[in-house]
Amino acid sequence: MAPPTVKAAPNFHEKHPERIEHWKRIVRTDPARAVHVLGLSYTGPNEDNSTTPKGDSALDGLYILPQLRDLAANSKSSTWRALVDAGVITALCKCALNFQAAIMHKDGHAPSTTESDDVEKNMPSPYHVPLDILCQASISCALPPTTTEKKMVSEIKKHWSSIVQRVWSEPSRSLESEPKKVRLLERIVIPQLFVRLTLIDPSILDIIFKPIDLTLAVVFRYWLYSDERIDTRMTLGILVPLIENEPHTHWQAHLASHPAPPTHQLLPKFFLGASKVAGSDKKKRTAGQTADVVVKAFATHLELLPVQDLQLDYDFFHSLFHHCQEHNRAFNKAVYRSREFWAANVSVLRRTARHPGPEKVPLYMSALTTFSSMPHTVSEDGKEAIDALMRSWFESGLMDALEETIASFLGAPRGPMILTGILAAVDRFLPDLTPKTLALLRAQLPRPKLVKSLIAACMTPGNNDGEQSNVKKDYASLVSHDPATNEDNQMWIHGAWQILATIEHKVEQVGDCSRRSCEVKRVDLEEGELRCEMCKWARYCSDDCLTGDIFEHSQICGWVPVIQQVLTDSGLGGSAGGGGGGGEGGESKIEDVD
């Protein structure tokens, strides 16, 4: 988009007060005259500008527009109705199509380049003001609509695709983050105006479904750059109902008789919004590059938006991921390999665990199920994709976050079941991991606190007979596939700690120090071997590691016989730690709990 022109306007500034009052009166008493002025063009102070017999010029439009915005805030008024009858809607649409940015200055006082740049940075896009007026009118209009509202929509529909085409081609500075308020208002005007228009006449939906229309691409691009609650909600308020096929109530009757295209036809419109550098003539991004941009946007939102504002983003992500499995696999693969995305998702686990609001549990589960929704799909994409996903998980700090948020997943409906599914996937994928990825996992194990917390959550000390009875009952319920009982069955917790214990054993190598993250190999001597005196299970490379691991290991020390029995029953052997659990993933493993 071309930079704004810088033009001198003799006597322009001096006439402000009188022209403001003049047009405040004219707009209200002679709407046709005001509308006519909006169609005049301004080419420069020393050129042949359009004027009317009454001496009005294009510059007078600068006084008319603020008056129109004030009047649009009460579009049920007789004054606004008169303006609509005089053609103000068509005039504003043409302004949105034709307005160009200009910096006006006094004759002989041209601004420096720096001054012009500073002014430009704070200017809205040239089409924003007329669109904002239309939006204000749609917000304040009568519902159910009268003849005036229907006329408004009818006129806007004629120009809608052309306006959106300009917004797409000339984003100006609307995608920048500063100044925050100006850019935010620019990003919401199109989605807000569109949704309001569907309240008056939902048939405008037919326009955005046309192959040549760019509304969904523009809205998707605005979502990519959204950085506040309001622009995120405005954009996803259009995208989510369409991709989930759960339209707003006021869309339903129209879509029942005029169905939206199938989702696989809408997806290209969405991804078009990320397919090139906005406003640039550069070559379009490849499918993989486009997918990376979209995944990065999700990561940015998860990291920066307040916890209570994330649910729509999660809804959108899961729907997009689901539909892309069949129609745009590049997106799924970009998700697997994005450490930034998974780190942001881990951050949400931590943030929601600390969050005091009512959104705490649902949002924690949205983040947790984002992990559990991956394994089935990634299995279809082969070992390279599996390794990329597991590496992203391990690099993102998943194990740390699970340990820090134990209370959250234990207390959430379906929490233990989802956790078990995540750990089962890690266990299942161990043979597919590269040595580098296995080393990442090995550096984050063992997890005594996490294992102990899971064991304790499903055990009742001092009531062994009752405990065994409950275990048998839960197991019978689990294998019965009764959906009413499976989700919160205690067997999920049993499964989780057992799978985690076997993972730890499988990835352990001969001579590993039992202290997490220590990379020094032990030198085991029959005499003077450094090991836990209580359980004889944990063995260390040095006195420093032995004493430094006392608190961590004490979490699990008393449960070592239980863990040994599980490993023995699983065919992994129950010898003391450090025996090596199958090298790169091992060959034996317990059955996955799905």
pLDDT > 90 in the chain, percent: 64
Q: Tell which phi-psi region holds residue 324, choosing left (phi > 0), alpha (psi between -120 and 50) or beta.
A: alpha
Q: Cα(470)–Cα(461) distance, rounded to whole angstroms?
A: 13
- Report if residue 189 sits inside a domain: yes
* Six-digit token string for 302: 């998860």
- Report if residue 130 sits inside a domain: yes
- Report if residue 468 sits inside a domain: no
pLDDT band at residue 479 under the 50/70/90 scheme: very low
- Report if residue 199 sits inside a domain: yes
pLDDT recorded at residue 103: 64
pLDDT band at residue 432 under the 50/70/90 scheme: very high
Is the pLDDT reported for residue 106 higher than 70?
A: no
Q: What is the pLDDT of residues 367-386, one digit of tens each?
A: 999 999 999 999 999 999 99
- Report if residue 360 sits inside a domain: no
Q: Decide which of 283 and 147 is more confident.
A: 147
Is the pLDDT reported for residue 11 higher than 70?
A: no
pLDDT recorded at residue 525: 52
Q: What is the pLDDT of residues 125-142, one digit of tens each?
A: 999 999 999 999 999 999
CA contacts within 13 A on the Cβ side of 34: 30
Number of domains the chain is built from: 1
pLDDT band at residue 582 under the 50/70/90 scheme: very low
How far is residue 287 CA from its own chain's centroid?
19
pLDDT band at residue 10 under the 50/70/90 scheme: low
- Report if residue 103 sits inside a domain: yes
pLDDT recorded at residue 478: 46
pLDDT recorded at residue 3: 63
Q: Cα(590)–Cα(227) distance, rounded to whole angstroms?
A: 45
pLDDT recorded at residue 57: 85
Cα angle 510, 515, 520; round to 5: 55
Q: Which of 230-234, 251-255, 467-471 has the lowest mean pLDDT?
A: 467-471
Q: Cα(543)–Cα(12) distance, rounded to whole angstroms?
A: 84
pLDDT band at residue 280 under the 50/70/90 scheme: low
For helices 229-243 and 263-272, what crossing angle results, to 10°? 150
Q: Which of 212-216, 338-342, 441-445 has the lowest mean pLDDT?
A: 441-445
Q: Can you point out the beta strands (E) in 175-307?
A: none
Q: What is the amino acid identity at position 246?
A: E
Question: Rounded to two decimals, what is the model's pTM?
Answer: 0.89
Q: What is the pLDDT of residues 542-580, one digit of tens each?
A: 999 999 999 999 988 988 988 888 888 877 665 444 444
The 10 Å Cβ neighbour count of residue 239 is 24
pLDDT > 70 in the chain, percent: 84
Is the pLDDT reported for residue 210 higher than 90?
A: yes
Mean pLDDT of the residues in the chain: 87
Is the pLDDT reported for residue 589 higher than 50?
A: no
Is the pLDDT reported for residue 466 higher than 50?
A: no
Which has the closest alpha carbon to 455: 403, 412, 507, 495?
Answer: 495
pLDDT recorded at residue 309: 94
Q: Cα(352)–Cα(358) distance, rounded to whole angstroms?
A: 10
Q: What is the DSSP code (8-state) at residue 583?
A: T
Q: Which domain holds residue 150?
A: 1-203
Q: What is the pLDDT of residues 294-348, one digit of tens each?
A: 999 999 999 999 999 999 999 999 999 999 999 999 999 999 999 999 999 999 9
* Six-digit token string for 536: 């004889």
- Report if residue 165 sits inside a domain: yes
- Report if residue 318 sits inside a domain: no
pLDDT recorded at residue 486: 67
Q: What is the amino acid identity at position 413?
A: P
Q: Cα(147)–Cα(349) distance, rounded to whole angstroms?
A: 51
Q: Decide which of 219 and 533 is more confident.
A: 219
pLDDT recorded at residue 433: 97
